Structure 1
């Protein structure tokens, strides 16, 4: 016996004194209500039949909108996903939230966001606030290596996934950060640089740790000793990049190239280079990470490692919604290096 999912009702703008319903769409399209239900159910693979195309066209013309609350109640949830990020002033986090929003929407969910800084106590409080609003699950871009929240969520059997960072246990979607760090450093080595510094970011995130691992792997593979005084821990922001970059570039022996583990840090290094009178792309080569839209439009465009945020976000949502434990709960997306004018061979070569 074929299973026909029960029709779900919908509302929209007022048409002829009443809200447009699924019955209205069915009558206008000349099909059954169950057909309209199947065609407009985002949880099902989209049909490309002529009837399905007609149903979607009629629904759009009539302005039909499904009732999210009614649909969510039938599947035992609220149709919302909570997204927790450190801050939305960070362009990467803003881009990631927008990518998660789009991915969630494709599954019929609405994503709401909360911020927590990089403070574990604020993270816990923000997560509980989202859960108090009865979200169906959480996507965390805040996980630290010493973070207890993912373990608590696992213990409480609360659906969740981690994005851009991982604790190595919870379902996670992120870029292959070690390979990305390797690509950035290998690029500078292939240009002829041997004096390569690293703005390493904070040591409490898997992303910073793994990008540093990639840097060290590339240096060791090329037989270039790592000068530990040129490996500088920092925050993630532009101010940290300028402060630490200025300290690094004003040393008596400075590197000829710098890999900054995110684009904000690299922009800060650009500011520091300007302060000390170094010409970027001539006297100093620089590589960032994430390839945010701004960096290709700078006066000297920044070489950066591109991370496909939409792909990562789609994986994070799929992992969150998966009904059973996936065989590979930690998914890593391969990054790519985008060379630009900020990285050139060393002046002496």
Structure 2
């Protein structure tokens, strides 16, 4: 192998020393210029080093850098399901945030929110030497995060909180309020909710937002209008069937995630009902498919990139005050065609 200046170079992995020799600068200068975690220099020397590195095919040796720093630059991410679109979107956001921070994300999927499976997944990641954990599986009242604190293991909760440890979440109470307020503004007063899982803070907070909006509007919540559910399509269909069979049937439904909203929308035609002609529906998360449905879904958009960036910043921070332990990102209502003004005279 030869460089542009005619010097020869032995075959094999290109090192910082090789780049430094070819560029005519010190090895420490090359290391600093090529370190993606540092501000990018646009000096002529820096441009020359990057050009030489590209021509030689230099690839940064992450493992060697990790050994020098005493860490692995890897973050473990625990999610309930890899097949869940929300979790896939969040993991991609974490991967982007890690790349910007010079880190690498490893994901381990757990089994249906089971605490022991969550624990096993976290222990697997810790055994692989990750520098910290991002947990999306927190359950209200659980003990595992307390154990991690006692073991001085760096971790941050994301999307959900448990009351223990650092957390980066969306403002789910505000999101639930925005969804319900939208339906109220369209003239609906009989609004049911597909409420999700009670141990999930995201579900419970969205329910709080729903109740707050209904209370402000003076709209009573009938017994049976709050239906617990899973987060999957089938659960949404089952919950919709319960709401539609209610003797005082709602004219609108707020589903605390998009999958359950899709399930409700898919079931309603079997009852002879249309969306939004007979029933208005609002979902939550704004997963990509909902804008492409036959009736595009009104939903609440969650800023996953902001939540992921907040999680990484919390995990890496060494100076946090008592008021800095949680990051809260603001959601946005996205109106589409699944909601319409209430045409019923019985409001």
Q: Is the 8 A contact 1:83 1:111 kept in 2?
A: yes
CA deviation vs aligned residue, 1:152-175 (integer Å, no higher than 9, x gap): 111111011011011233111111
Q: Is the 8 A contact 1:85 1:140 kept in 2?
A: yes
1:181 Cα offset (Å): 0.5
1:277 Cα offset (Å): 1.9
Moved more, 87-96 or 46-55: 46-55
1:75 Cα offset (Å): 1.4
Give the secondary structure class of the aligned counterpart of 2:195: strand
Quote the residue 2:270 is aligned against: 275
Paired residue for 1:113, among 100, 107, 114? 107
The runs of 5 or more residues in structure 2 that have no matched partner are 1-8
Distance 1:281 1:51 in 2: 62
| Aligned residue runs from structure 1 range 223-234, under 5 A | 223-234=218-229
Paired residue for 1:72, among 47, 60, 66? 66
Quote the residue 1:34 is aligned against: 28
Specify whether residues 265 and 150 from structure 1 end up closer, same or farther in structure 2 by C-alpha distance, changes over 3 A only: same
Quote the residue 1:150 is aligned against: 145
Quote the residue 1:340 is aligned against: 336
Paired residue for 1:305, among 300, 304, 316? 300
Give the secondary structure class of the aligned counterpart of 2:254: strand
Q: Is the 8 A contact 2:224 2:246 kept in 1?
A: no
Q: Is the 8 A contact 1:168 1:330 kept in 2?
A: no
Distance 1:279 1:50 in 2: 65
| Aligned residue runs from structure 1 range 119-198, under 5 A | 119-198=114-193
Paired residue for 2:238, among 230, 234, 243? 243
Specify whether residues 255 and 40 from structure 1 end up closer, same or farther in structure 2 by C-alpha distance, changes over 3 A only: same
Distance 1:191 1:103 in 2: 38
Specify whether residues 71 and 193 from structure 1 end up closer, same or farther in structure 2 by C-alpha distance, changes over 3 A only: same
CA deviation vs aligned residue, 1:11-56 (integer Å, no higher than 9, x gap): xxxx862221223333444433222211222332333444334433
Distance 1:104 1:222 in 2: 43
Distance 2:55 2:269 in 1: 56
Paired residue for 1:94, among 59, 81, 88? 88
Give the secondary structure class of the aligned counterpart of 1:229: coil
1:253 Cα offset (Å): 2.3
Specify whether residues 209 and 41 from structure 1 end up closer, same or farther in structure 2 by C-alpha distance, changes over 3 A only: same
Does residue 76 of structure 2 align to residue 82 of structure 1? yes
TM-score, normalisation: structure 2: 0.92
Quote the residue 1:10 is aligned against: none
CA deviation vs aligned residue, 1:159-202 (integer Å, no higher than 9, x gap): 11011011233111111100011110111111111110001100
1:206 Cα offset (Å): 0.8
Specify whether residues 17 and 150 from structure 1 end up closer, same or farther in structure 2 by C-alpha distance, changes over 3 A only: same
Does residue 268 of structure 2 align to residue 288 of structure 1? no
Q: Is the 8 A contact 1:250 1:276 kept in 2?
A: no
Distance 1:216 1:146 in 2: 22
Give the secondary structure class of the aligned counterpart of 2:261: helix
Quote the residue 1:3 is aligned against: none
Distance 1:183 1:80 in 2: 37
Moved more, 193-202 or 62-71: 62-71
What is the count of residue pairs matched by the alignment?
335
Q: Is the 8 A contact 1:86 1:118 kept in 2?
A: yes
Give the secondary structure class of the aligned counterpart of 2:176: helix
The runs of 5 or more residues in structure 1 that have no matched partner are 1-14
TM-score, normalisation: structure 1: 0.91
- RMSD after superposition: 1.6
Quote the residue 1:8 is aligned against: none
Distance 1:68 1:315 in 2: 24
